[in-house]
């Protein structure tokens, strides 16, 4: 086989020209395009990575915010529950206070009603006692019982303490005599007996005034400026009425 050197040289030159043409008009634009595509791809990958990182951060932030919201919700629920419990306790305490106040008011009203009823019964009993005493007295003449009361009055005068005797005697004057009150008029003998008893006790005569008062029912009462001796049915009934009171 014969190889022509000129032909080989021309072919070599053609190949070199072709390579130069390819390198200049094909490979370099292609490489530029590839490099550009690589840069764009790298940029897209970087953007994708950044987006993925942003998404991770956003998800973490969302999880954190969701946890914060959940914690705030639990806190609000706890506060609302505490406030509800406190309000419930306050309402219960207020209700118990009102119930206690109503019970106390009711008990006080019942006590007042009972006291009023008892006082009415006592007053009624006193009135009945006075009425019964008056009816019993209607069966006797006042003079039949006065002698007994006169004797008891003389005995009570003798039983006065020295201080009471001194006070009674010192306060007796002509302007303010000792009053002897009886339901019916005393006889002269009864008056003299009382005057004699006073003279016996005090050693001298004292100014005495006699008067009648049917309201004492029966008996005798002696009244001085500072001393009172009550020996009458009215006094007995008043004492019974006081003892009946609570």
Q: Tell the residue number behind the tokens 């993925």, with chain if given.
A: 52
Percent of the chain with pLDDT over 90: 5
* Residue 3 pLDDT > 70: no
Tens of pLDDT along 181-221? Answer: 988 888 888 889 888 888 888 888 889 999 999 888 778 89
pLDDT of 48: 76
* Residue 153 pLDDT > 60: yes
* Residue 129 pLDDT > 70: no
Question: 122 or 173: which carries more pLDDT confidence?
Answer: 173
CA gap 168, 223 in Å, rounded: 9
CA gap 145, 244 in Å, rounded: 27
**Where are the extended beta strands (E) located within 197-238?**
208-212, 219-223, 228-232
* Residue 179 pLDDT > 70: yes
Q: How confident is the model at residue 245 (pLDDT cuts 50, 70, 90)?
A: low
The pTM of this model reads 0.45
pLDDT of 2: 57
pLDDT of 26: 64
CA gap 104, 219 in Å, rounded: 47
Every domain of the chain and the residues it spans = 1-100, 140-244
Rounding to the nearest 10 degrees, give the CA dihedral for residues 178, 181, 186, 189: -30
CA gap 57, 75 in Å, rounded: 26
* Residue 111 pLDDT > 80: yes
Tens of pLDDT along 33-50? Answer: 777 777 877 787 778 778
H/E element, 70: helix 28-137
Handedness of CA 170, 171, 174, 179 (dihedral sign): negative
* Residue 239 pLDDT > 90: no
Handedness of CA 35, 38, 44, 48 (dihedral sign): negative
Pairing state between β 228-232 and 219-223: antiparallel
Q: Could you give the angle at which helices 188-202 and 162-171 cross, rounded to 10 degrees?
A: 120
């Amino acid at each position: 086989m014969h190889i022509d050197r000129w032909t080989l040289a021309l072919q070599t030159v053609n190949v070199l020209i072709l390579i130069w043409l390819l390198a200049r008009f094909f490979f370099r634009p292609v490489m530029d395009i590839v490099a550009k595509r690589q840069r764009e791809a790298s940029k897209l990958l970087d953007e994708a990575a950044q987006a993925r990182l942003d998404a991770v951060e956003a998800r973490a932030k969302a999880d954190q915010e969701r946890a914060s919201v959940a914690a705030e919700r639990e806190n609000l629920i706890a506060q609302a529950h505490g406030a509800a419990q406190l309000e419930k306790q306050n309402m219960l305490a207020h209700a118990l206070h009102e119930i206690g106040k109503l019970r106390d008011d009711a008990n006080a009203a019942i006590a007042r009603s009972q006291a009023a009823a008892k006082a009415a019964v006592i007053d009624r009993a006193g009135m009945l006692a006075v009425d019964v005493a008056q009816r019993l007295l209607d069966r006797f003449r006042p003079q039949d019982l006065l002698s007994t009361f006169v004797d008891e009055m003389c005995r009570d005068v003798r039983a006065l303490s020295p201080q009471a005797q001194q006070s009674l005697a010192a306060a007796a004057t002509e302007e303010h005599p000792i009053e002897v009150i009886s339901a019916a008029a005393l006889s002269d003998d009864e008056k003299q007996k009382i005057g004699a008893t006073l003279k016996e006790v005090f050693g001298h005569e004292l100014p005495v005034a006699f008067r009648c008062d049917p309201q004492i029912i029966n008996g005798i009462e002696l009244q001085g400026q500072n001393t009172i001796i009550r020996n009458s049915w009215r006094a007995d009934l008043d004492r019974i009425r006081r003892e009946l009171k609570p």
